[in-house]
Structure 1
């Protein structure tokens, strides 16, 4: 499967292919902001997309560890900030007491806005949470990436992975009213865009470290096979709303997560490192949690 990423290097935007390992030298292809969006909208499949952003482009060879390489969320329009991170809730089969019937009528799951695309944190960047946080929950999720053309028609680009960190303690105090507040924690996302259909099977492990030692560890699954709803129904319903069909808008759609460390009795603390090892896709997303200072208003 083709995988590509976008990054900034020495003030210019580039595309790279594959997932560069630490210390590995990779070729970067210079692209204009929005060029990948145009390639996705033009269609033709993964090979056509790769060709459109690499053929004839100026190149530079750099190490993946070069401090001047800054990875970007897939397709993030840095020139306009025209992107949203949103997520579905309560989607996993484990949260239902039955399996869906083959002809079951679609009943849309809960959904909320996490923030602008520019708010996404990359691997290695800290995840800031409110000082008033009650109890955190990490949520490893598949993130589908869609981009709207000039007429507002959504085009599927591919998928990546994210951590929808949130304050489940606040959510549980008032599930019907305070969930949007609970979601006001940073979301991390990998820069790797998998140019394929939404994944059926995604498995891996969550490792939470405290003071350099593993404090909690557990498995997870978040592919379509783990979700109660049909992904095409979830996406089709959501992207039917005009507000999400604005021309040029990039939508990062988080498909939901299963139970994790909180449900096992563990409590994430300031300074803990959350590592999501998506072993099925050879992807690692690791971030340190930072509690913000108590905010004040003028």
Structure 2
């Protein structure tokens, strides 16, 4: 699997190919967002994209843990104007029957999580409201799309995210308060896998409290775990004109299965959530930070 990532270094945008190793210099290619976007719009697959962003570019060798290097969400524009969105109730385990291929598609609930600039990278704290009732981590596949000048979305690849949410508040009023429950920050890995959406993703969640493991659990996601077909989800979402704005980058979260909350565990302020996507040799780890006031007035 080919992996591409974007980053900022000393005021300039760069692209790297392959996942870097901490402490080891990694070659970065100076690529403005427009050139990177054009490479994906041109198509041709992973090899063509890599060639387009590495040919004839200025390079610099920098270690990923260099303090002047900042990893960025995949394809995030300099303006941060991207859409973070997703689906709810997508997994087979949440239904009491198997999907019927002949049945007419009925879309699951959908949500807007926020702007691309709201995304947090690995090891950055994830903010949740001080009024939070009960948090739930959600390891998810995130599909990345970039729109062309006519607004047509082009699939670029996938990455992984933790769609943190206040499930306790959601359950108090499932039909009305879900948007509030989603007003928690979401973390995402910077690694963009230049491949079709994954069928199978497996891994393990560890929640640490005061340096010790307080809860562990396995997870699975990917298209094989979904009740809905990925193509149906995307075709329905991108049938709406407002998400077909020229040049828009959209991160689509495909949903998650049950996790720590359903096992009786309650996430606390200061807990560290580590999602080890073992099938893809990728780790996403963040500390929870309760913030804000319980009341404004």
TM-score bracket, shorter-length normalisation: over 0.9
**Which residue of 2 is the match for residue 171 of structure 1?**
170
Q: Which digits, 9 at most, give the CA deviation of each residue in 1:254-276, with x for residues without a partner?
A: 00000000000000000000000
CA deviation vs aligned residue, 1:151-206 (integer Å, no higher than 9, x gap): 00000000000000000000000000000000000000000000000000000000
CA contact (8 A) 2:111 2:179 kept: yes
| Alignment check: 8 A CA contact 2:134 2:167 kept | yes
TM-score, length of structure 1 as denominator length: 0.98
Query: 1-side partners of 2:274 and 2:248: how far apart?
Result: 30
Structure 2 counterpart of 1:188? 187
1:205 is aligned to 2:215: no
Matched, 1:282 2:281: yes
Q: Give the corresponding residue for 1:32.
A: 32
Q: Is the counterpart of residue 123 in structure 1 residue 111 in structure 2? A: no
Map Cα deviations across residues 108-162 of structure 1 (whole Å, 9 max, x no partner). 0000000000100000100000010000000000000001000000000000000
Matched, 1:247 2:246: yes
**1:140 aligned to 2:139?**
yes
CA contact (8 A) 2:131 2:294 kept: no
Corresponding residue SS for 2:130: coil
**Superposed displacement of residue 103, structure 1:** 1.9
Whole-Å separation in 2 of the counterparts to 1:269 and 1:254? 24
Distance 1:24 1:232 in 2: 39
> Is there any run of 5+ residues in structure 1 with no aligned partner, and where?
none
Find the aligned partners of 2:133 and 2:264 in 1 and give their Cα distance: 14
* 2:37 pairs with 1:43: no
The Cα of 1:295 is off from its aligned counterpart by 5.9
What CA distance in whole angstroms lies between the structure 2 residues aligned with 1:208 and 1:193? Answer: 25
TM-score by length of 2: 0.98
Q: CA deviation at 1:81?
A: 2.5
- Give the whole-Å Cα distance in 2 for the aligned partners of 1:202 and 1:96: 20
Structure 2: unaligned runs, 5 residues or longer: none
Q: Tell me the residue number matched to 2:158.
A: 159
Cα deviations across residues 198-225 of structure 1 (Å, max 9, x unaligned)? 0000000000000000000000011000
Instruction: Please give the alpha-carbon distance, in whole angstroms, between the structure 2 residues aligned to 1:35 and 1:99.
Output: 44
Counterpart-to-counterpart distance in 2, 1:119 and 1:130: 15
Per the alignment, residue 294 of structure 1 pairs with 293
RMSD: 1.0
How far apart are the structure 1 equivalents of 2:156 and 2:253?
A: 14
Q: Give the secondary structure class of the aligned counterpart of 2:33.
A: coil
State whether residues 7 and 15 of structure 2, in contact with CA within 8 Å, keep that contact through their aligned partners in structure 1: yes
Residue of structure 1 in register with 2:272 after alignment? 273
Tell me how far 1:33 sits from its aligned partner: 2.3
Q: Is the Cα contact below 8 Å between 1:82 and 1:248 reproduced in 2?
A: no
Q: Distance between the aligned counterparts of 1:202 and 1:24, measured in 2?
A: 28
Residue 297 of structure 1 deviates from its aligned partner by 4.6
Q: 1: CA distance between counterparts of 2:160 and 2:14?
A: 21
Q: Distance in 2 between matches of 1:270 and 1:256?
A: 24
Q: Deviations over 1:10-30 (max 9, x none)?
A: 111000011112212100000
In the TM superposition, residue 34 of structure 1 has moved relative to its aligned partner by: 2.4
Residue of structure 1 in register with 2:89 after alignment: 90
